[in-house]
């Protein structure tokens, strides 16, 4: 059964910075922050996904990529069925660190739709966001590649323009804006500007107290929702 997603959400995407017990500890902290207003996604290296799914109930455990293949040939590929088997509920596609061709993305999205996986597809520009919206993913992450990890956010004009472009073509799609998010203040301003969700990597994993930063960022989502 496909996991449900609230209209507002936060994504903790530690990429390959964290694994094992340290990652699980943060996941358990995030688990306590989920409520009826905010869904929380957490990504992980492939080998940690099963452990996260086993020890959490409220988080949406998310793979950082998959390939549009079925069981059979595919040496070194990421098999969707194996992700589902260990409890994965969502997947990132077309991230700047793992770009996909249009045909690869289309096959992967078809698999997600057939198997009930939530799809989060990354778009670098307004034009790319429009093209992806036609494929009807669940979430589009609008994130200019040059801003990833810089601490510089996209700005309200970009947020408004991409939101409008996507919703015109796919009204049910949720829009995530996450470029340069490095503080709870960034999270607050991004949600206040109209994003459905946001997320963070380095701002959490490189913080002096990652657990506290995670808590502060999720709290900022909730505060912005109330004030928007």
The 3-state DSSP class for residue 205 equals helix
H helical segments located in 66-183: 80-85, 102-115, 126-133, 156-169
Rounded to 5 degrees, what angle do the CA atoms 43, 93, 141 make? Answer: 80
Active site residue 55: no
Q: Give the C-alpha separation, 107 to 185, whole Å.
A: 37
Phi-psi domain of 179 (left: phi exceeds 0; alpha: psi -120 through 50; beta: other): beta
| Residue pair 12/30 in contact by the 8 Å Cβ criterion | yes
CB-side exposure of 25: number of CA atoms within 13 Å? 10
Active site residue 143: yes
Catalytic residue among 22, 95, 97, 98: 95
Catalytic residue among 54, 98, 127, 143: 143
Catalytic residues: 95, 143
């Amino acid at each position: 059964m496909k996991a449900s997603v609230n209209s507002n959400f936060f994504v903790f995407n530690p990429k390959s910075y964290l694994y094992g017990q340290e990652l699980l500890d943060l996941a358990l902290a995030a688990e306590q922050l989920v409520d009826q207003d905010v869904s929380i996604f957490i990504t992980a290296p492939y080998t940690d996904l099963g452990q996260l799914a086993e020890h959490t109930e409220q988080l949406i455990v998310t793979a950082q990529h998959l390939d549009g293949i079925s069981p059979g040939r595919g040496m070194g590929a990421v098999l969707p069925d194996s992700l589902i088997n260990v409890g994965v509920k969502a997947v990132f596609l077309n991230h700047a660190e793992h770009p996909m061709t249009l045909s690869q993305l289309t096959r992967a999205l078809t698999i997600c739709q057939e198997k009930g996986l939530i799809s989060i597809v990354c778009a670098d520009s307004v034009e790319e966001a429009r093209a992806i919206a036609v494929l009807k993913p669940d979430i589009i992450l609008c994130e200019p590649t040059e801003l990833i990890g810089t601490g510089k956010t996209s700005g309200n004009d970009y947020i408004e323009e991409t939101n409008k472009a996507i919703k015109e073509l796919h009204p049910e799609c949720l829009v995530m804006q996450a470029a340069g998010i490095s503080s709870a203040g960034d999270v607050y301003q991004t949600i206040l500007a109209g994003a459905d969700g946001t997320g963070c990597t380095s701002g959490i994993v490189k913080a002096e107290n990652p657990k506290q930063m995670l808590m502060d960022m999720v709290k900022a989502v909730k505060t912005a929702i109330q004030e928007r």
